[in-house]
Structure 1
């Protein structure tokens, strides 16, 4: 059976320094719009797919932190409540007995 060919969308064009580029915009993980440029539609389509994949990975990673990242966040929250020596102890214990084992 023949492989289905990807349908490449039509992109707008822009001229920069006398050279014509294709342009599209995507929204990044922070909600800002980014412009992507390429010389051909196919190249821009590949860039767009890769950028969307990276944005999805960043959003997933933010929603599902690792134990080490969560531990660092917890230590930061505790730093205002406990003394410096207690915080050092918490940091040492978390590093030695939780993060290293995982």
Structure 2
């Protein structure tokens, strides 16, 4: 009988310890779920009738869009400057070629 009582006490102790571990594990899981909810909310942002707050995902998208918009604007300015440079060079070359053409025509007319 004493042996059965000892074994029953050991089983009770084991069960109580297991229940305590399980409670602690459940609390930790609940805390983890809460933290994950907070992370998701920060990523997605808050949108309700009282508050409209962008999440970090939307802010990151906005920064990327702004960055590439600035790149496009810079590229357009550089393109315009390059086109102006090319146009100026072409005008100068055409002017030089026309002048050379006139000079050659004048020289030819004097020889004939």
TM-score (norm 2): 0.27
Structure with greater contact order relative to length (CA < 8 Å, sep ≥ 6) = 1
Q: TM-score, normalised by structure 1?
A: 0.29
Compare the two structures and name the one with the higher strand fraction. 1
Greater C-alpha Rg: 2
